[in-house]
Structure 1
């Protein structure tokens, strides 16, 4: 069987592609950067696609010889892209599948997706779901299934990273009344559901809510992750809903306004229809997590997650201060005296002062804007500063306030921030 996976570079897509390759299926991964997909998922071929722009005709050649299509593509938090990536883009893909005779289509949607949903995310997902269902209502010619998963848990998932980070805090936050129940399913069980549906006989025309067996509060979910990480019980502190709402409005944390609305609405569904349609009974979350025990790397990643933005902020402040203080707070006489010590006077000194200060400010701003490579640029500039001062004013090594030796700490912080950049090319 030849399966085309759209959005194969995402969390669900990567796990799904890996399982299908292991089962001996021929997999083509589709995404914006094919070379990246081939690096991420060994054993697949890759092609370029862009759901925000590709027409029905653009898909025709790509679908030649394809037996099944799985659409895992999705955005969260970028409402401007929802109409294209979630609705019109998948609709064009599904129309092309129908016209070229693809045997079956699996659409990975979201629990709660329907036309009257409160969130734009769910409404846009529902638009593609409804379009697919209308193409062949009986599923006799082109079998189709819309999967609506609840919270999907597993290594590499953002939800898992978030709840593991919350669980690893010395004092665990209790979201309490901030939201309703969730019904998490492990990624391995979701992949098993898809695998079975790829081999299910036609006709196939299903909308399935994909959930785990246990509805739970977010507090219980955090506690589950804490046990998985091997951590003892910790004190909990209730986070008021108004605090979470303020954080969401400011965009200062991982919780968005849309995410808050989804959390408040709850995210549960009956399990029986999924079991009846697929024969797959997802494991309780605690058991599912136990299949892949947490190691030191998992605990380290969970504890680092909330620290990374703080490290970046502190490093940015160092660079901004290094640029602003000489221009605004330091007297011209003091600046001139310092520059004279390294052999710069007159216009060259003024040019060096402004060039260095603006470079420092630029790196600080780039760090705040999370520009990739900003910390690495800072390492280079700090190394240049250190070499110049070490060669021209070596007595600074003995400065009682550590004027030069402190550069080593900044270099170490810069290296840590650069290393913790998780985006892959």
Structure 2
């Protein structure tokens, strides 16, 4: 069949397109930016009328809609991407004679009350009202190496302390992206009865801590102690995340997290439907990270938070040093230290407050403008004043608290940041 996969450059769409091609289908990749021959340019933010889709559907036998976002950002709204454009696409499919449409929705879309679920449900209902062979797949959390939520959960799982929000009895039943791709292929099979909604999930239903523990074990980490975060604190963080463009935690996402993502307890029909589509049991959460990919997952997870930790540590050191130098440490004591290296009088005062201002600027730059040139400049500065102090005030080199020797780990941090110009997550 000739199959148009909308969202083919996304996490789920990429897996679906690859699996369909491997199954022998002629795949048209519906993408925002055309990258290769056979790509079809689509813009879910603008293609909101059926007429915009008719030319693209000429000769197409089936359509898979795998476009989705987890939070709104500017023009990328739930209304447009989850309901408006899909509704126009589905209506055009009916007009163009497309035989079968597979809609990748979300588990919980049938009754969820967040804007995300409501937008998914609106598209599902439009599709169900049309004279088409339609199948709606509602997967639980989808796990895969390129998935945004999977990367976030692996990052959290890789930390030496597992941070777990208070979620009560919430359960999660994540589905591997390869199993979802196989389900789409099966849904396109003419032998699969149409006009059906499938709630699909993995083989394992676990709590939040159990899910992170499975990912942690899969990456080869030993078990970690758990820090439980009160629900009220998580709610505050979610409200703060609403104003941060890159934050995954928003009030709606916090509500969905508290609700969990699993088939209802005792939903044997849902579990049977997943096995029916796949012709086998879906993967268990403990099998999501194969041993051959363990190191890749491990390094990516560590890289996702390691650089930020080092960068923010440096920022705190520079900003605290500026504050102490300018306002807290006795000025007479600071001037006496400068006199020890040959700087006295007005130049000493200028040097004292100029150095404090420079420290503050470097601290702010660590947060706002991290880059290799900044790490190089900081390293040169630390080496320079360390050598000067060691030569003029050698007692600080042999001081039992090691004020100069402690510059060595700071220099090591700068070397790591300089070397990792691009992280594994870039």
State the TM-score bracket (shorter-chain normalisation): 0.7 to 0.9
Deviations 1:246-304 (A, max 9, x none): 22222287533222211222322233452475253333424532655542232222233
Gapped runs of 5+ residues in structure 1?
A: 39-43, 335-340, 342-352, 368-373
1:245 aligns with 2:235: yes
Q: Where in structure 2 are the equivalents of 1:67-78 lying within 5 Å?
A: 67-78=61-72
Q: 2:92 aligns with which of 88, 92, 96?
A: 96
1:82 counterpart residue number: 78
Q: 1:206 to 1:421 in 2, by over 3 A?
A: same
1:182–1:266: 8 Å Cα contact kept in structure 2? yes
Gapped runs of 5+ residues in structure 2?
A: 336-342, 344-354, 398-403
2:175–2:202: 8 Å Cα contact kept in structure 1? yes
RMSD: 4.2
Deviation at 1:219, TM superposition (A): 1.6
1:204 counterpart residue number: 194
Question: What CA distance in whole angstroms lies between the structure 2 residues aligned with 1:100 and 1:376?
Answer: 54
Q: How many residues align?
A: 389
Q: 2:122 aligns with which of 127, 132, 152?
A: 127
1:88–1:128: 8 Å Cα contact kept in structure 2? yes
Q: Where in structure 2 are the equivalents of 1:178-217 lying within 5 Å?
A: 178=168, 180-201=170-191, 204-217=194-207
Deviation at 1:311, TM superposition (A): 3.6
1:259 counterpart residue number: 253
Deviation at 1:148, TM superposition (A): 0.6
2:44 counterpart residue number: 51
Deviation at 1:169, TM superposition (A): 2.3
1:87–1:124: 8 Å Cα contact kept in structure 2? yes
Deviation at 1:171, TM superposition (A): 2.8
1:4–1:30: 8 Å Cα contact kept in structure 2? yes
Deviation at 1:237, TM superposition (A): 3.0
Deviation at 1:382, TM superposition (A): 7.1
Q: 1:49 to 1:227 in 2, by over 3 A?
A: same
Deviation at 1:229, TM superposition (A): 1.9
2:218–2:294: 8 Å Cα contact kept in structure 1? no
SS of the residue 1:295 aligns to: helix
Deviations 1:216-255 (A, max 9, x none): 2112111211221233333333332223222222228753
Question: What CA distance in whole angstroms lies between the structure 2 residues aligned with 1:311 and 1:103?
Answer: 54
Question: What CA distance in whole angstroms lies between the structure 2 residues aligned with 1:112 and 1:79?
Answer: 22
Question: What CA distance in whole angstroms lies between the structure 2 residues aligned with 1:61 and 1:322?
Answer: 64
Select the structure of larger CA radius of gyration: 2
Q: Where in structure 2 are the equivalents of 1:304-315 lying within 5 Å?
A: 304-314=303-313
Question: What CA distance in whole angstroms lies between the structure 1 residues aligned with 2:240 and 2:176?
Answer: 31
Deviations 1:137-156 (A, max 9, x none): xx4xxx11111101111211
